[in-house]
């Protein structure tokens, strides 16, 4: 039993974690870095379970004041066309662009043209949760120590299409396995900042997208490391869990379905112009799985929402990861539920470590005073990787990661039933 908000911490990992070389020539491993990066988890004892922790996010607070400059990217994928918005954390400014989230203004063409740099500061690329954006408080809590008060990191947030007051400009929106926008931003960052070590951080749906992306890239991933927080991993299991309980269905699924319906309504003209979605039927949606049935199955050609959930889940992608990867999950998370966490997969891949806490809810981890615990292991891990580890010495074949079987066979953990044929 957890006592007075003190959560239990556990690590799930390979018996032979990835070996890492320190810059001073000594040797450590990924598990030791993760353990050293993880402080005790002392949460607000009044928020004593996952439901209360999660519901407390509805209490409005200002959060750290992160300022952004926005740039609209034109998709470079032949099929996944349209535009999406990327927000870059910048120094405080007084610019006001009507219609954008607080403290956010557009880059001028002139200023953005000068953004390229050969500096070696580390850079973090962030993905938010369902229907969120760069303005989300849980996200700003996590990146604030990296960019405020002398933080040395460069940070940008890839907003899902239509989110954070961005426009919808094609018939292809976003879903839980739509990895093309993050892939384009990582490629752009690698070309624009050739000397910067690149890392990525994803929350909830964004964590699922990030895990899929890193798995799809495998040994060719340009990132030096990644963190997935509150990943639902197995979306079909998570969906069934939501529908099984009163709070799951009538609170969480209803709220998420309502938020997605509001997102569609905010882009009604574009939706009617670019898609064949039945707008009137979407207005009858109550729960998240109903939204996915009316929108994701129609948009992407899935026969059912469960087929979409199975295809978009990132649990198998864990096996294909070939960069240092830390996942952070709360075991009492009512949305990214315990039953969906792929514990066995983490034991099979030395490049991955799963950090679990017995308390924390969904992207919550509220401490006394209003802080959020998850920011500390995130920032500690990233800073340790940059300051202590020889990132160039990490190779995609370290420790040996091929699964041994008695048969001549191969398991492809990121093979998809849905294929983009004309890329």
Catalytic one of 135, 141, 289, 362: 362
Q: Decide if 204 is catalytic.
A: yes
Both tokens of 302, joined, read 């899935």
Instruction: Give the C-alpha separation, 365 to 354, whole Å.
Output: 16
Residues making up the chain, counted from first to last: 423
Catalytic one of 51, 181, 316, 333: 333
Q: What is the greatest pairwise CA distance in the chain?
A: 64
Could you tell me where the DSSP H helices lie in 231-320? Answer: 235-244, 246-247, 254-266, 268-274, 279-282, 288-294, 296-300, 305-312
- Spatial contact of 200 and 173, defined as CB atoms under 8 Å apart: no
Q: At what angle do helices 305-312 and 235-244 cross, to 10 degrees?
A: 130
Q: Decide if 274 is catalytic.
A: no
CA angle, residues 214, 215, 217, in degrees to nearest 5: 65
Looking at residue 368, the DSSP 8-state letter turns out to be: T
Both tokens of 383, joined, read 């800073």
- Spatial contact of 378 and 30, defined as CB atoms under 8 Å apart: no
User: Measured between alpha carbons, how far apart are the two ends of the chain, in Å?
Assistant: 52
Residue that has been written with the tokens 């990233």 in this structure: 382
Catalytic one of 131, 160, 204, 241: 204
Q: Decide if 117 is catalytic.
A: no
- Spatial contact of 151 and 143, defined as CB atoms under 8 Å apart: no
Query: Torsions phi, psi of 252, nearest 5?
Result: -70, -55
Does residue 379 sit in helix, strand or coil? helix
Residues marked as catalytic = 204, 333, 362
């Amino acid at each position: 039993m957890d006592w007075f908000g003190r959560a239990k911490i556990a690590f799930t990992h390979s018996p032979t974690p990835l070996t890492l070389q320190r810059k001073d020539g000594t040797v450590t491993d990924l598990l030791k870095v993760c353990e050293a990066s993880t402080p005790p988890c002392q949460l607000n004892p009044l928020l004593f379970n996952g439901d209360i922790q999660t519901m407390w996010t509805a209490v409005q607070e200002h959060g750290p004041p992160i300022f952004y400059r926005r740039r609209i990217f034109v998709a470079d994928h032949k099929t996944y066309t349209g535009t999406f918005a990327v927000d870059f954390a910048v120094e405080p400014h007084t610019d006001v662009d009507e219609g954008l989230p607080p403290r956010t203004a557009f880059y001028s063409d002139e200023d953005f043209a000068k953004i390229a740099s050969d500096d070696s500061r580390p850079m973090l690329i962030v993905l938010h949760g369902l229907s969120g954006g760069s303005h989300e408080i849980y996200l700003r809590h996590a990146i604030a120590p990296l960019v405020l008060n002398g933080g040395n990191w460069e940070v940008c947030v890839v907003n899902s299409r239509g989110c954070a007051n961005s426009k919808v400009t094609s018939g292809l929106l976003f879903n839980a396995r739509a990895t093309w926008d993050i892939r384009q931003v990582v490629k752009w960052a690698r070309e624009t900042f050739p000397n910067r070590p690149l890392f990525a951080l994803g929350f909830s749906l964004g964590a699922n997208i990030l895990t899929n992306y890193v798995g799809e890239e495998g040994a060719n991933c340009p990132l030096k490391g990644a963190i997935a927080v509150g990943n639902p991993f197995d979306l079909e299991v998570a969906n069934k869990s939501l529908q099984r309980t009163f709070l799951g269905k009538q609170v969480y699924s209803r709220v998420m379905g309502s938020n997605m319906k509001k997102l569609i309504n905010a882009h009604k003209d574009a939706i009617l112009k670019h898609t064949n979605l039945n707008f009137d039927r979407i207005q009858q949606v109550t729960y998240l799985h109903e939204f996915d049935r009316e929108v994701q199955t129609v948009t992407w050609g899935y026969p059912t929402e469960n087929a979409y959930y199975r295809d978009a889940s990132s649990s198998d992608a864990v096996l294909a990861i070939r960069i240092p990867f830390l996942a952070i999950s709360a075991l009492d998370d009512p949305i990214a539920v315990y039953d969906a966490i792929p514990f066995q997969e983490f034991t099979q891949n030395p490049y991955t470590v799963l950090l679990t806490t017995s308390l924390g809810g969904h992207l919550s981890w509220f401490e006394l005073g209003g802080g959020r615990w998850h920011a500390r292991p995130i920032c500690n891990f990233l800073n340790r990787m940059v300051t202590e580890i020889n990132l160039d010495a990490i190779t995609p074949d370290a420790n040996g990661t091929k699964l041994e079987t008695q048969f001549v066979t191969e398991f492809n953990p990121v093979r998809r039933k849905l294929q983009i044929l004309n890329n």
